[in-house]
Amino acid sequence: MAFTPVTQDVGSDMSPLYLGPVVSLAILALGLCIARVYTRVTRVKVLYIDDWLIIVGTFLSTVNVLLGCTAVGYGWGHTITTFTPEKRTIVLKLQFAVQTTWIFTLALVRCSVGCSLLRFGQEKWWRAVLYGLIGLQCCMSASWVIIQFGQCKPISYNWEMVADIQCWNLNAIIDWGWASSAIYVTMDLILALFPTKFIRSLTRSPSEKILISCLMALGLLATIICGLKMTTFGSFGKGDPMQGTIRPSMYAKIEEQIGIIASCLPALKGPVESLLKKYGILNEHMLTRPSFVDTVPMGSLPKEHDQRSSGEISAPHLDKDDIRIDSVSVKPGSASSEPHLEKTTSRKEGWHMA
């Protein structure tokens, strides 16, 4: 793809802007994914489809980081004037591979989040919205794969100078980038705020409310990063291709990595609670109660009489005239033993003890 040349500092290096956050988040995301799989296998003993999606997504994300680091090793982030033709071709090929793997990784991460949310609701509208988001994500990713491989013919123009090329209108691709990013922002907002419906139906402890708030904040952070990525669209195809692609690549990668982290954290709720209890940070009474348990003070509950001391039998309210006792048989026993009543049956007109 052609870039408009601009004046650059020959000694400048922008690769730390990419390596710092991307490598740090890659280590965190990979560790959380491994912990998620270990927790599923040891506790639930089964991996669901969302687990498999995030496993493949994390694997591709790690490959993507390694490709980016390799490109940096060949000079990505320096000015293009410092490159030999051979190194320039290698770096542009690696950039093409980074972009391609990112498209598939982002799709797998969002589909994994959607599949996870499917288990929390059976309503038709709930499942219809999530299936719609998953399908929309697949279509969006497919469109970018088509653009990636079809925008220029021959495809080798993406990494080397060739003659007789045919490329699509660059402005149309930029416009689609704006439109798709707006759709991605909307999808991130929906996926981040959608669990509030499920959360409101449960009685949550303060510690879990903090955890849930952090998870929702991660989803909103991914939305913010996507918005920051949109600010780089104005310089798309302009400037130095070795330095001008660092910032948008960083934003795109961080958006994907935050998605992996947010997807893996809920599965680690149990181990985190166990660890906090072990060190006394979390007490038993702070843990989640089932949604059907109300927070009613014990003092406000009506007192019940002890049936064993009063001899009263709990039964539906009946008038005195409705009860007829034909006979009561008592088994012989020690004087200290309580009378033993035989089988009790009922008739339509009252109680009959035989």
Residue 83 contacts residue 65 (beta carbons within 8 Å):
no
Cα–Cα distance, 274 to 301 (Å, whole number):
32
* Tokens representing residue 205 in the block: 């402890």
Give me the CATH topology for the region 15-284. Rhopdopsin 7-helix transmembrane proteins (1.20.1070)
By the 8 A CB rule, do 252 and 289 touch?
no
- Using CA atoms, how far apart are residues 352 and 327, in angstroms rounded to an integer? 8
Over residues 129-148, the pLDDT tens digits come to 999 999 999 999 999 999 99
Q: What angle do CA 80, 83, 85 make, to 5 degrees?
A: 110
User: Residue 35 has which token pair?
Assistant: 């912990």
As a whole number of Å, the end-to-end CA separation of the chain is 96
Model confidence at 20, pLDDT cuts 50, 70, 90, reads very high
Average pLDDT over residues 173-180: 89
The answer to whether the CB of 239 falls within 8 A of the CB of 81 is no
Average pLDDT value for residue range 328-345: 46
The model's pTM: 0.73
* Contact call for residues 172 and 125 (beta carbons, < 8 A): no
Tell me the residue length of the chain: 354
Among 27-41, 109-123, 150-164, 191-205, which stretch is predicted with the lowest mean pLDDT? 191-205
What's the mean pLDDT in 94-111?
95
Give 174's pLDDT tier (boundaries 50, 70, 90): confident
pLDDT digits (tens, 9 = 90+) for 261-303: 988 887 777 776 676 677 666 565 555 544 444 444 444 445 5
- Reported as a single tens digit per residue, the pLDDT across 212-250 is 667 677 778 888 888 888 888 877 767 788 888 999 999
Cβ atoms within 10 Å, residue 32? 20
Contact 263, 54 (CB under 8 A): yes
User: Is pLDDT of 329 > 80?
Assistant: no
| Confidence at residue 339, expressed as pLDDT on a 0 to 100 scale | 46
Query: Longest Cα pair distance anywhere in the chain, in angstroms?
Result: 113
Tokens of 70: 């390799």
Q: Domain ranges in the chain?
A: 15-284
